[in-house]
Amino acid sequence: MALLKFLLCFLLFPLIFPSSIAGAAPMLPPVKAAYWPSWVLETFPPSAIDTALFTHVYFAFLMPDNRSFAFEFPDTTVAALSQFTTSLTRKNPSVKTLFSIGGGGSDSDLFARIASDTSSRQIFIDSSIKTARKFGFHGVDLDWEFPKDTTEMKYFADLIIQWRKTIDREAKTTSRPPLLLTAAVYYASEFLTYGERRSFPAEAISKSLDWINVMCFDYHGSWDTSATGAHAALFDPHTNLSSHYGLRSWISAGVPRNKMVMGIPLYGKSWTLKDPNVHGVGAPATAVGPGDNGILTYVQVQEFNKRTAATVVYDIRTVSAYSYVESSWVGYDSVQSTTTKVEFAQAIGLRGYFFWALSYDSADWEISTHASNAWVDDRL
């Protein structure tokens, strides 16, 4: 009997609670995710995605109907959804597919209306699960940008708690693996709007979501043309506009590191320099530069650098790259900055990284390939 107790306590204990022995979070397979913008369907169909480079691919985006709060799709969307899951899982049965609800330009007030009430939440949640099962997705993602005050942050919490309960119940009754539930969130866990401090519900997030996709980008852009900027700076000693600051805020809010996935942009931001001879990060500028309102995809940055024979610089201070020629200046993530960020994410114990957006990579998947290789396989 004593021997049995000994065995149970000292031999089986590590098997049951491996994390408490190691003093670390349980090892979970890394997340190497990317969003696929569904509006590139014609030029970049799901069949063009290299599924060896990603563990999770997100269909972006869907929105519920603004009156019924359920998902109702035109035939073209139905076709795109089936094409997405069928072609990805056929190519690589181990890749997981999710659809993302919302997006940067979506109706934030609609989310607030849905999330404010138990029964409207349930209609939305049930419809999301039905849609996922119908089209063979492995999960759903909420990209509500952003709950705008303390009340809406509470709605956000209520929504994900109820969603998780419903997902678990559905998995039980159908004997299927539960759907994944993730959310794309702001780079920091709290921010000020009109003097009000609003914080994401860290406890509800930790309990209800598989992980959050932390949007570690867009720190600078066309809204401020006075200076160039590293729009996805890992570090910035002078301001709170850095991924280091944002991730630290999430960690101190209490979200476990292994529930955080770090966003890396596959696009750059451009400015027009005030003085072509002053061209560092933070150099005086007068307007946006080349691209679509100062935005270039990685493949466009490559093309710009080649065509103009631009000078390319790696900025070790912010962990970013920039290139310039005459008064044109572009800040972006290169192979070097991306792999450094991936190594950083792994070193601090995050679950993985994700890209916005996979179709912006070069034709030979330069960034996605180097990122995938930079994550060290540390399985024992």
CA distances from 71 to 52, 74, 123, 180, 263 (A): 31, 10, 9, 18, 27
Q: How far is the CB of 307 from ligand NAG (least distance, A)?
A: 37
What is the C-alpha to C-alpha distance for residues 325 and 347, in angstroms, rounded to an integer? 35
Interface with ligand NAG includes 191 (CB under 6 A)? yes
Interface with ligand NAG includes 150 (CB under 6 A)? no
- Dihedral, CA of residue 299, residue 271, residue 247 and residue 151, to nearest 10: -110
Q: How far is the CB of 191 from ligand NAG (least distance, A)?
A: 4
Q: How many residues bind ligand NAG (CB under 6 A)?
A: 5
- The reply to whether 152 belongs to the active site is no
Question: With respect to ligand NAG, which residue has the nearer C-beta, 87 or 240?
Answer: 240
Task: Work out the number of other CB atoms within 10 angstroms of the CB of residue 271.
Answer: 31
Question: With respect to ligand NAG, which residue has the nearer C-beta, 93 or 237?
Answer: 237
Q: The tokens 């709060």 sit on which residue?
A: 69
Q: How far is the CB of 114 from ligand NAG (least distance, A)?
A: 11
Residue pair 14/26 in contact (Cβ under 8 Å)? The answer is: no
CA distances from 194 to 108, 149, 150 (A): 17, 10, 12
Per-position x/- string for 281-300, each x denoting binding to ligand NAG as judged by CB under 6 A, each - no binding: --------------------
What is the C-alpha to C-alpha distance for residues 308 and 276, in angstroms, rounded to an integer? 15
Q: How far is the CB of 316 from ligand NAG (least distance, A)?
A: 24
Question: With respect to ligand NAG, which residue has the nearer C-beta, 198 or 341?
Answer: 198
Per-position x/- string for 101-130, each x denoting binding to ligand NAG as judged by CB under 6 A, each - no binding: ------------------------------
Q: For residues 238-277, which are near ligand NAG according to CB under 6 A?
A: 240
Q: For residues 222-241, which are near ligand NAG according to CB under 6 A?
A: 240
User: In 3D, which of 123, 214, 133 has the Cα closest to residue 180?
Assistant: 133
| Candidates 16-24, 97-105, 185-193, 364-372; binding stretch for ligand NAG (CB under 6 A) | 185-193
Q: How far is the CB of 214 from ligand NAG (least distance, A)?
A: 12
What is the C-alpha to C-alpha distance for residues 161 and 179, in angstroms, rounded to an integer? 14
Name the active-site residue from 145, 190, 343, 366.
Answer: 145
Question: With respect to ligand NAG, which residue has the nearer C-beta, 66 or 252?
Answer: 66
CA distances from 279 to 69, 185, 316, 338 (A): 49, 32, 15, 22
Q: How far is the CB of 188 from ligand NAG (least distance, A)?
A: 4
Contacting residue, 188, 266, 321, 345, with ligand NAG by CB under 6 A: 188
- Dihedral, CA of residue 88, residue 90, residue 92 and residue 96, to nearest 10: 50
Give the CA count within 13 Å in the CB-facing half-sphere of 17. 7
Interface with ligand NAG includes 192 (CB under 6 A)? yes
Question: With respect to ligand NAG, which residue has the nearer C-beta, 197 or 207?
Answer: 197
Q: The tokens 């990284």 sit on which residue?
A: 353
Residues in the chain, overall count: 380
Query: Hey, which residues are catalytic here?
Result: 145
Q: Could you list the residues that contact ligand NAG (CB under 6 A)?
A: 66, 188, 191-192, 240
